[in-house]
Structure 1
Amino acid sequence: MKILMLGWELPPHNSGGLGVACYHLSKALAQHGASIDFILPYSARHSNVDYMNVHAATKLTPLHRFGAMGAYDNKGVDILDLDQVDMRDLQTMRGLQKRYIKYVERFVRKTGSPDVIHAHDWLTIEAGLRAKELTDAPLIVHVHATEFDRAGSHNGGNPIIHEIEYNGLMMADRIIAVSNITKQIIVQKYGIPADKIEVIHNAIDVDSFGDYEYDRRTYRYLEVLKNEGYTVVSTITRFTAQKGLVQLMRGAARACERYDRFAFLFAGDGDQRDELIQLSTDLGISDKVFFSGFVRGKQWRDAYSVSDVFVMSSVSEPFGLTALEAAHHDTALIITKQSGVGEILQSVLRYDFWDTEKLADQLVALATSPALRDSLKRNVKNEYARISWNDVAEKCIHVYNNMKTGEVNE
């Protein structure tokens, strides 16, 4: 099967879970015999990607637009009509997208029609529609997050991106959503028929983590606190409204009022960074909160490993790969009820993102009950061990084949 895969980032040049999911999905599809052409908006080496052909739509580096081509930058998008966009202006997202679309046009004219076009999120939807128009190949739109998720509000976000998403979802032959939460947003907010949407959850490839030895020197001070009986609570994420970090900070403060041996690690960066630093001071817990900045590679894995508890505090999280990654590094999980990963994990504690009192109760319970913490760690590993990217690939192939035969998945 010949697949034209349209994405915006791949590891190690990713700024979030989108690139990780695309990497593992494509690898699993290739292992099933798929021939994949993956088009990126930037040019870079991907030394671990030898299972598919990676094409660069521009000569820009992955650091353009502050990392991974601004994959999560939705605020500066202010032009809808591509006819008004100068594709030579690669300083704007719409200019970059137009250049990407033109590259896809040239590519399909040169290589011919694929068996399927698989486009990931709003960034590549328009290119997918253009490829479909030129080749008449079926188009799958894979929704990892909607603009409602990124805005942290089911009534907010950039109206231009909403329109791009709506047009793409309406014109797609089939839609893949990463969770039932995401499917319901697509149905309720965009009016898409539910039977057009297939829910395929993400997975984790533990083999991809390879050999790793935790370096206790990376977070030496936190290790000292752990030796003194402190519980290290972490979150590793982008510092945006979607991630519910203000509520997490307030819940942390309430937990510290009830139990004083907490240390909180906020690993990541984003437009809320200064606000969160100030909030920790205002709440009187600045001595218990540590900001590492953006982490990747060894520091990223060490951040998981130093943690006793991992919190996914998202206001709206379509899936949440970081929860699976944290569980693999032996942490107990607390996630919001608004997180899609909770559809496949049961051995976790849950709370509504706004309920800082319940979050505080759960933090204290895990800090004061090693037995509860160890039970959650042990059981959640058994749960995520039952899912794999191979299963995800098989479900995608089933969708592809059903489109070719005109059937609808149940």
Structure 2
Amino acid sequence: MKILMLGWELPPHHTGGMGVVCYQMCKELAQSGADIEFILPYTAEFPNIDFMTVNPALPEGVTEVIGSMAGSTYDSQYFTYVDNKGNSRGVQMHEHQSAYTQYVAKLARLNEYDVIHAHDWLTFRAALAAKQLTAKPLFVHVHATEFDRSGGSYGNPLVREIEHMGLLLADKIFAISQATKDTIVREYNIDPAKIEIVHNAMELEESELHEDTSVNTFTYLQIMQGRGYKVILSAGRLTIQKGLIHLLEAFAKVVEKRPKTILLVVGSGEQYTELIEHSAVLGLSGNVIFTGRINGTGKTWRDAFRVANLFVMPSVSEPFGLTPFEALLQHTPALISKQSGASELLRNVLKLDYWDIEEMSNQILAVCNNSDLEITLAEEGSAELANITWKRSVQKMMHHYQLHAHKQKVLHV
């Protein structure tokens, strides 16, 4: 099965969970016999990827493409092109998307693929061009819609239009949760029979299994824990979608009743400054720590989960949410919003509606004040992950690849 895979990021050059999902999913696909060519919008080294071919979409005469966001292109609004003489020029997102589309179209003309698989709206134009040229089956993989990214509102009309076109013309849609499928049907009027739910999973790399955990990056927090403090963790992109204003409001109520509580906020994003200012307004400057962006594939990232007594994901609209899985992998209990795809799978976590600030503060306090509850949630939640693997999801994907590839061959005999 030869797959033309179109994505916008891969670790370690990524932000958020989609890059991690693409990496782990493709690794399992390769183990299942798939031959994958993954096309990215930027140039970078990937020393840990030997199970598929990774190529950058390079415009004519360009030798290097750099995103404007350090460590990520998903949030980049512009890119830098560098030619073989070292000359550089900046380009806007729409221009680079066009260049990406042209590169993918050229590949589709020159090479033979069985299926095309595109991740989220940024790759849909290129995917549609490849489908038009080759008539090969197109699978679009929806990790988040514009409805989700805008916190449950209409969002950018142009992005919505691109999403709608990709969803309409795809042969099959992979949605990462029932919640995402429902959003696609409701917001884009797509036939539900066309959509297959393929849940994400989260698995530790071999190197992570043998990682030295004797020294934690956040030693100062461990010292504070020894003095009676509890550490609450939030990790991910700081955007309206993640519901962090609600978390700060709830945390203010926690500190009123339990002053020896720290909120560790790991990540960066458009709300970074706003959240710092809001913390100050709430009088939380002495209880909230903002780390800024931390590499999501490094030990420091995992150490944040290890040091926490409770991980909280209060997302307003979360198609899936990998971070609760990362918490449980490090034996840290999780509190997540019911408005997340992860809540469909995880049973041994605390759940609430993101807007219920009172309940959020109560559940945080319950874990902080009850060590037995913390330990039980951590143990049972971690054990639950053994049954949530990529193997099952990839088997479902391979079935649909083969089904549609066979149909395409029959039609063109």
Q: Give TM-score scaled by structure 2 length.
A: 0.92
8 Å CA contact 2:12, 2:71 repeated in 1: no
Distance 2:178 2:71 in 1: 27
**What does the per-residue CA deviation read over 1:180-206, in whole Å, with 9 as the maximum and x for residues that have no partner?**
000000000000011100001001122
> For residue 23 of structure 2, what is the amino acid of its counterpart?
Y
Q: State the Cα distance separating 1:91 from its structure 2 match.
A: 2.4
> For residue 310 of structure 1, what is the amino acid of its counterpart?
F
SS of match in other structure, 2:233:
strand
Question: Residue 282 and residue 310 in structure 1: after superposition, are their counterparts in 2 closer, same or farther (change >3 A)?
Answer: same
1:172 pairs, out of 170, 185, 209, with: 170
| Counterpart for residue 390 of structure 2 | 389
Is 2:365 the counterpart of 1:367?
A: no
Q: State the Cα distance separating 1:349 from its structure 2 match.
A: 0.7
Is 2:328 the counterpart of 1:327?
A: yes
**What does the per-residue CA deviation read over 1:340-392, in whole Å, with 9 as the maximum and x for residues that have no partner?**
11111011111111111110000000001111111111111121111111222
8 Å CA contact 2:5, 2:37 repeated in 1: yes
Counterpart mapping for 1:175-254 below 5 A = 175-208=173-206, 209-214=208-213, 216=215, 218-254=217-253
Distance 1:39 1:63 in 2: 15
Question: Residue 52 and residue 401 in structure 1: after superposition, are their counterparts in 2 closer, same or farther (change >3 A)?
Answer: same
**What does the per-residue CA deviation read over 1:158-211, in whole Å, with 9 as the maximum and x for residues that have no partner?**
110000000000000000000000000000000001110000100112244342
Counterpart mapping for 1:80-91 below 5 A = 91=91
SS of match in other structure, 1:287:
coil
| Counterpart for residue 294 of structure 2 | 295
Q: CA RMSD in A?
A: 1.9
**What does the per-residue CA deviation read over 1:89-129, in whole Å, with 9 as the maximum and x for residues that have no partner?**
852111111110110011111113x1110000001011110
SS of match in other structure, 1:318:
coil
Distance 2:107 2:160 in 1: 27
> For residue 93 of structure 2, what is the amino acid of its counterpart?
M
Distance 2:249 2:138 in 1: 44
Distance 1:109 1:308 in 2: 53
Question: Residue 54 and residue 136 in structure 1: after superposition, are their counterparts in 2 closer, same or farther (change >3 A)?
Answer: same
| Counterpart for residue 31 of structure 1 | 31
Distance 2:392 2:90 in 1: 38
> For residue 95 of structure 2, what is the amino acid of its counterpart?
G
Counterpart mapping for 1:119-138 below 5 A = 119-138=118-137
SS of match in other structure, 2:290:
strand
Listed as ranges, the gaps of 5+ residues in structure 2 are 79-87, 409-413
| Counterpart for residue 262 of structure 1 | 261
Identical positions, percent: 44
Distance 2:66 2:339 in 1: 31
| Counterpart for residue 108 of structure 2 | 108
8 Å CA contact 1:251, 1:356 repeated in 2: yes
* Structure 1 residue ranges (4+ consecutive) displaced by more than 6 angstroms after TM superposition: none
> For residue 29 of structure 1, what is the amino acid of its counterpart?
L
Q: State the Cα distance separating 1:400 from its structure 2 match.
A: 1.1
* Corresponding residue pairs, total: 394
8 Å CA contact 2:216, 2:307 repeated in 1: no
Distance 1:150 1:70 in 2: 16
8 Å CA contact 2:216, 2:303 repeated in 1: no
8 Å CA contact 1:89, 1:96 repeated in 2: no
Distance 2:348 2:18 in 1: 25
Question: Residue 25 and residue 90 in structure 1: after superposition, are their counterparts in 2 closer, same or farther (change >3 A)?
Answer: farther
> For residue 159 of structure 1, what is the amino acid of its counterpart?
P
SS of match in other structure, 1:206:
coil
8 Å CA contact 1:8, 1:69 repeated in 2: no
SS of match in other structure, 1:70:
coil
Distance 1:69 1:204 in 2: 20
Listed as ranges, the gaps of 5+ residues in structure 1 are 77-87
Distance 2:64 2:156 in 1: 26
SS of match in other structure, 2:217:
coil
| Counterpart for residue 85 of structure 1 | none
Distance 2:214 2:109 in 1: 50
8 Å CA contact 1:15, 1:67 repeated in 2: no
Question: Residue 108 and residue 186 in structure 1: after superposition, are their counterparts in 2 closer, same or farther (change >3 A)?
Answer: same
Distance 2:16 2:201 in 1: 15
Question: Residue 262 and residue 29 in structure 1: after superposition, are their counterparts in 2 closer, same or farther (change >3 A)?
Answer: same
Q: Give TM-score scaled by structure 1 length.
A: 0.92
8 Å CA contact 1:216, 1:223 repeated in 2: no
8 Å CA contact 2:334, 2:349 repeated in 1: yes
Q: State the Cα distance separating 1:216 from its structure 2 match.
A: 4.1
Distance 2:188 2:393 in 1: 25
Q: State the Cα distance separating 1:52 from its structure 2 match.
A: 0.8
> For residue 182 of structure 1, what is the amino acid of its counterpart?
T
Distance 2:66 2:360 in 1: 36
Distance 2:209 2:327 in 1: 15
Distance 1:109 1:323 in 2: 42
Q: State the Cα distance separating 1:246 from its structure 2 match.
A: 0.6
Q: State the Cα distance separating 1:289 from its structure 2 match.
A: 0.5
Q: State the Cα distance separating 1:44 from its structure 2 match.
A: 1.0
